[in-house]
Amino acid sequence: MINVAVLGFGTVGAGVAEVLEKNGALIAGRLGEDVRLKYILDIRDFPDSPFGHLVIHDFSLIEQDPEIDVVVETIGGASVAWEYTRRALAAGKHVVTSNKELVAVHGAGLLQLAREKNVNYLFEAAVGGGIPVLRPIQQCLAANEIEEIYGILNGTTNYILTRMVHAGVSFGEALREAQSLGYAEQDPTADVAGYDACRKICILADLAFGRELPPEQVPTEGISDIALEDVTLVERAGWRVKLLGRAVRGVDGRVSAYVAPHLIHERHPMAGVADVFNAVLVRGNAVGEVMFYGPGAGKLPTASAVVADVIDAARHRTKRKEIGWAPWDAAAAGDPQALPMRLYLRTAAGRARVEEVFPGSEILAEAEEIALITPRMARCEAEKRAAGLRPCAKLCVLG
């Protein structure tokens, strides 16, 4: 019998309880023993919930209960969640989480504690929601040196950009629609400013490249300044706008990472990832490119990944999974501004001036303003040249 405690009975925590209840027989068959939800920790009571009788308010009951094998942390944030996670690991309990902020900020230290206590700290749901991506990177792609990883890592921003194209509405209108549907928080800053995607690309990079990448070291741009005019213009020219988190290993072994809106050509498989869906592309030196696609959030999709980690932790009770990364080292970090790329610009400068500054540019549209894609060069050089054109809009271009 595997006994589980869930910390936080919000959307994901409730989903975990539901999955354990609904698929209990299936899970027991695959694991070879039953999994029982014994406690739910929350500051609230849930008298109308079928799981209400499991609710407690004192974490020490979980911490001191020798029967609890796995603690599922779905509180969110990096304060109370960090304290409870640290205490659970110190008590010799496996911990599973969907908390991207906690893993991105404190993952290295918590993994070290888990190693010392010979327990597992697992977090598949912290990056792709219901998309299995962390485990495939560790296991299925273990024979590869990862060269690059990037993706659409935030469903809220992807929904907003999709609506701007399909419904022809402004960023503000699309955001209000996302909030009304529950896809965006009333304070959407973490999503639209790119912070959520930043935390996720950090976790992906930590695992893929084996060294901690703190979120504060990753240049991050959001989507709030993207104009409907540009989204519509590039769509007519065969491009789509997507917010990407991207991490690249350079030839010198240094890893550069950033988050920014990108133009993706309509022929790229990621261009068709719409609404609240996410996608992650991994390029390995043996396998080439592989892409993972699916729901990046949501009650049951995220709970699916969490419960899969519960099963994995149970299977590795006696021999823990080796997961971890080296500490942050500024000398091992590359400069994202040095990455070669193209830029999309919209400027009132005339064609002659554009061709003088960026000879060989691809002109997407020309009227009172010119929309163009620059030749490929180091981003810092492209930015320097672009400043002379005083662009009305500027976006990265993938490829």
Residue 150 CA: distances (Å) to CA of 102, 173, 200? 21, 28, 10
Residue 322 CA: distances (Å) to CA of 107, 129, 164? 14, 22, 43
Provide the Cα torsion 33, 37, 39, 40; round to 10°.
150
Beta-bridge mates of residue 395: 344
d(CA 94, CA 166): 45
Q: Which two tokens stand for residue 334?
A: 């590359």
- From the list 200, 299, 321, 394, the catalytic residue is 200
Query: Which phi and psi angles does 375 have, rounded to 5°?
Result: -65, 165
Which SS3 state, helix, strand or coil, does residue 7 take?
strand
200 is catalytic: yes
Is residue 121 exposed (0-12), middle (13-18) or buried (19+ Cβ within 10 Å)? buried
Is residue 179 exposed (0-12), middle (13-18) or buried (19+ Cβ within 10 Å)? middle
Query: Which phi and psi angles does 159 have, rounded to 5°?
Result: -65, -45
Query: Which phi and psi angles does 223 have, rounded to 5°?
Result: -115, 0
| Residues designated as active site | 200
